[in-house]
Amino acid sequence: MSAFLFFHESRLLTYRLIQLCGSISGSPRPVVNHTPVKVTLDRGGNLVQLGIRADQLLVAKTPLSPLVDQYSTSGMELPNLGQAHFTVSLETDHFYQDIDIYPTGNWAPHTLVLHGNQSEVYNLYETPVTEQQWLGRSLVSSFIVAAAYARAQFGAGVEDLPHPVCVQCCHTDGRLFHFVVLQLNTLGVGTELRNILWSQPRVALFDTCGYKNGRPELTGYNGDVHRSWDRQGVLSSPLVSDDGWGTVNAPSTVANTDRVVGIGFIIVLARFLYQPAVGFFRARRAAVTSARDLHLSSAGLLQFSSYTW
C-alpha cells in the first residue's frame, strides 16, 4: 500500500471515529484540521523552533484538569545526558519569524490526533522506525501544542506555569495506535518543576485489512483491546502509586461488543477523545516521595509508563 493511500485511510478512520465520538457524546467538540502549531524557545542563546502540522486538534472551552499536583515532582532527579548537547541532532537553519502559532485563541487543546505514514515518519538510512522514536514523535508533538497554548495564555516569557497545561494525543498510522497524556508544568530550564508524560505502548487494531479475491477482509482483529476495558466495568479512579507502572480502567458502553468487529476499539477511542482527562485518568493528588513514585494506579489492566523532564 502506498504511503499516500495509507495516510488517506488512516485520516478517514480518525475522521469517522471523531464523528462517532460526537454522536456518542451528544455535544461534538470543535475540531481544527491540518493546522500549523509552532513555538520558538531560547535555550542558552540558541533559538530552537519547533513546529508541527496538527492533523486534527480537538479543542475545548475549559482546559483539561491536571492529573497530579504540579509541585509533586519538584526536585526530581533527571537522567544525566553526559557530553550530549541538546542541539546535537538539530539542523541549523535561517528563520526570520521567531513567533509562536497557536491556532484557536483562548480555546484550550484537548486531544491532538497525529497521522504517521511512511512518507513522514522514517529514518535517514531506511532503518525501521523504533518504538522509542514513535514515542518521541508523540512526546514532541504534544509538547509543541501545550507550549504554544501556554505561551499564548501566560505570555512569551513564562517559565513555571501558573496552572499546568494538559494535552491528550492519539498517534496512529491507521493500524497501530499510541496514546499519551502530557502535563506541562514548566517551560524553564533548571527550575524545580518537572513535566510529566504518561504513555501506553502502541496497540495494533488488526494485522491486515484489505481486499482478497475481490472481497474486503480483516484479519487479526485485536479483540483484547476492548475486552480488557469491558472486564473493568465503570470507570474507576486511579491513584498515584509507587509500583512503577500505571493502569487505567475503562467503561463498557455497548453490550455484546464481541459480535461487532471493531466497535469495542471505537468506544475506547471515543471515551479517550471526549471525556476530559479528569474523568479518563481521575488521578487523585498524593505525595510523591521519590522518582519512582509518580505513576498511575495498578488497579486496572492497561499499563501506562510515566516520564519526567
pLDDT digits (tens, 9 = 90+) for 109-151: 998 999 887 777 778 778 888 888 888 899 999 999 999 999 9
Question: Which cell is 257 given?
Answer: 461488543
Rama region for 233: left / alpha / beta (φ>0; ψ in -120 to 50; rest)? left
Lowest mean pLDDT among 210-214, 240-244, 305-309: 240-244
For residue 229, what pLDDT band results from cuts at 50, 70 and 90? very low
Q: Which three cell numbers stand for residue 301?
A: 489492566
Residues 193, 138: contact at Cβ < 8 Å? no
What is the predicted pLDDT for the residue at 287? 28
Q: Could you give the CA distance from residue 270 to residue 24 in angstroms, rounded to a whole number?
A: 8
Residue type for 127, please?
T
- The larger pLDDT score, comparing residue 132 to residue 25, is at 132
The rounded mean pLDDT for the chain is 71
pLDDT at residue 36 tops 90: yes
Confidence of residue 246 (pLDDT cuts 50, 70, 90): very low
Size of the chain in residues:
309
How far apart are alpha carbons 44 and 25 in whole angstroms?
Answer: 46
What pLDDT was estimated at residue 153? 95
- Measured between alpha carbons, how far is 257 from 268 in angstroms, rounded to an integer? 12
What is the identity of the amino acid at 79? P
Q: What angle do CA 198, 200, 203 make, to 5 degrees?
A: 160
Mean pLDDT of the 207-223 span = 81
Between 284 and 58, the higher pLDDT residue: 58
Strand duo 160-172 + 176-186: pairing: antiparallel
Would the pLDDT of 259 be above 90? no
Instruction: Determine contact, residues 252/233, Cβ cutoff 8 Å.
Output: yes
Q: How far apart are CA 100 and CA 304, in angstroms?
A: 31
Reported as type and span, the H/E element at residue 11 is helix 3-25
Question: Number of structural domains, the chain?
Answer: 1
Which pLDDT band holds residue 7 (cuts at 50, 70, 90)?
A: low
| Amino acid 105: pLDDT | 86
DSSP H or E run through 180:
strand 176-186
Give me the domain span that covers residue 85: 3-308
Q: Using DSSP, state whether 302 is helix, strand or coil.
A: strand
pLDDT tens-digit map of 290-301: 222 333 222 222
Range 8-31 average pLDDT: 75
Highest mean pLDDT: which range of 16-25, 79-88, 96-105, 180-189: 180-189
CB 201 within 8 A of CB 225: no
Nearest CA to 303 among 244, 247, 243, 232? Answer: 247
The secondary structure element, H or E, covering residue 32 is strand 31-43
Mean pLDDT, residues 30-44: 89
